[in-house]
């Protein structure tokens, strides 16, 4: 029997470059990306809380940056990442308990997640601006 060759070309399981992009697959990828974005986004929350704990002048500086156009854009993206990741989590709960694996349910869940995340994010910001006004 020939000894096993570690460097021999072994068959690999198909990876993402093999598959045609599908919505469920893109939503899975974006779930991971939004998770990573939220991970680094905690810096924004910590800066804001530490500024609030430091005093009025530190807080005013951070509020000015977060209130700028760029700041609001980043926070809008942060909100969308949070909602998208949360709805993706709900989808995974449904799949974890073994429901929603048929084609129609799968498509409905991913479409609801995408549309829901955008609608909820816009709604949150509308309410936020109404409250602030």
Partner 1 sequence: MRTPLGQVRGLGAARSGTGHFWLQRLTAVSNLLLSIVFVSVLISLAGDSHAAVTATLSNPVIAILMLLFVISATVHMRIGMQVIIEDYVHAELPKLLALMANTFFAIAMGLSAVFALLKISFGV
Binding site for partner 1 (CB under 8 A): 32, 35-36, 38-39, 42-43, 45-46, 49-50, 52-53, 55-56, 59-60, 79, 82, 86, 89-90, 92-93, 96, 124, 127-129, 131-133
Q: How many CB atoms lie within 10 A of CB 132?
A: 7
CB of 111 to partner 1, least distance (A): 20
Q: Which is nearer to partner 1, 6 or 43 (CB)?
A: 43
Rg (CA), the chain: 21
Q: Which is nearer to partner 1, 82 or 103 (CB)?
A: 82
Residue 31 labelled as part of a binding site: no
CB of 82 to partner 1, least distance (A): 6
Q: How far apart are CA 85 and CA 11, in angstroms?
A: 34
CB of 62 to partner 1, least distance (A): 10
Q: Which is nearer to partner 1, 34 or 110 (CB)?
A: 34
**Strand, coil or helix: 55:** coil
b (16+ CB within 10 A) / e for 53-66: eeeeeebeebeeeb
Query: What would the two tokens of residue 128 be?
Result: 């936020």
Of 64, 108, 116, 60, the residue nearest 85 (C-alpha): 116
Q: Which is nearer to partner 1, 93 or 101 (CB)?
A: 93
CB of 40 to partner 1, least distance (A): 9
Residues annotated as binding site for heme? 85
């Amino acid at each position: 029997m020939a000894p096993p060759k570690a460097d021999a070309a072994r068959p690999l399981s198909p990876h993402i470059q093999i598959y045609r992009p599908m919505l469920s697959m893109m939503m899975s990828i974006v779930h991971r990306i939004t998770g990573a974005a939220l991970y680094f986004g905690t810096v924004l929350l910590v800066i804001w809380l530490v500024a609030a704990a430091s005093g009025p002048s530190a807080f005013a500086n951070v509020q000015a940056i977060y209130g700028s156009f760029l700041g609001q854009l980043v926070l809008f993206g942060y909100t969308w990442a949070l909602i998208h990741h949360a709805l993706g989590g709900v989808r995974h709960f449904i799949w974890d308990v073994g429901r929603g694996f048929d084609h129609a349910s799968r498509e409905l869940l991913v479409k609801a997640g995408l549309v829901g995340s955008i609608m909820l994010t816009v709604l949150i910001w509308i309410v936020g601006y109404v409250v602030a006004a």
